[in-house]
Structure 1
Amino acid sequence: MSFKGNRSQVSRTVSGIVSISSGELHTLTTCNCEIAVLPVELLFELQSPYFQKNDNTITVHNHEGGYSVFCDGKVEAGRETYTIRNYIERSNKLKGHADYKDYRETLLTKPIVLFTKARKTNQESPRDKAFAVIVNTRHPNIRAEIEKGMNNAITSVWGESYSLQTVLLFVS
């Protein structure tokens, strides 16, 4: 895909992630957008170094870059259901400030991937389609919101054990 125009309007593709910006991409998994949504199959195809398929299992490789994947351990891609390995549970119990700091670091270190489904209901047989929502935690706006939310959570439960749940909200 190519676009004509000045440097700030040129689209670049690095391992399949498209970013429109005047700056270069810093890593293969960080684009200059805040949130991206794409079909799960496309994420697995474009980011195959980080999502390794083996039969009906997807292993998330995130030791050198990659993503923090929050899910329930399963995802549908096309007509297949895959078991996810090396993911983070959506609900986590934190027992103190050290757990909080570790969890906060996990949230802010790598882009976050959340899986969601959309259903087209105007057909005779409705079908779900799975999407990956990628949250760029390195983007200043996203990082500030996560830090603000985490700070509000920790000050409200200081000195207590508590549970945090990663939730995806869409606002229209």
Structure 2
Amino acid sequence: MFVIAGLGNPGLAYAGTRHNVGFGAIDELADSYRIGVDTKKHKGLIGKGNIGGQKVILLKPQTYMNLSGESIREVLDYYKLTPEELLVIYDDINLDPGQLRIREKGSAGGHNGMKNIISHLGTDVFSRIRVGVGSKPPRMDLADYVLGHFSAEELPEVRESLVHAAEAAAMIAAGDMAAAMNKFNGKKK
């Protein structure tokens, strides 16, 4: 079994914001593989299905971004899974909209949701897909920026990056991390 968690904030006020691209990628996966992510469990919304011959749990933590580790820890504990059986998809302000960066491990890079996950898991050795949302304008508050919406010009690239993030996640769940990294890392598709 493999857990794919997309980070975001619950509620309509946050739908479509930069901080919610992880939720967007989970929605893309759910649509592509006909997995309903609608069961309230483990402080999140989950859906179970099959991707590439692998049983998966799609997870959208409902704890708000900065407490995402609570939900992820509960899911891993309940299903007796290790952090190596986890993939986290989240926003990155250091990447342009449309860019992806896939890694097998790494630091939180200043992302509070990832800091919380690493703290709850006690390790940074788990897969992640960072989805570019662009850097904040000078003199703008970071929270205001990531909780803001994409411009009309950015939306097509962002939508395409969510499709690619879902495709990469499916490859990783099926055991092909190297192929996902080779196909998607750093390239604007």
TM-score (norm 1): 0.32
The structure with the largest alpha-carbon Rg is 1
Structure with the bigger RCO (C-alpha within 8 Å, sep 6+) is: 2
Higher strand share: 1
**Which structure features the higher share of helix residues?**
2
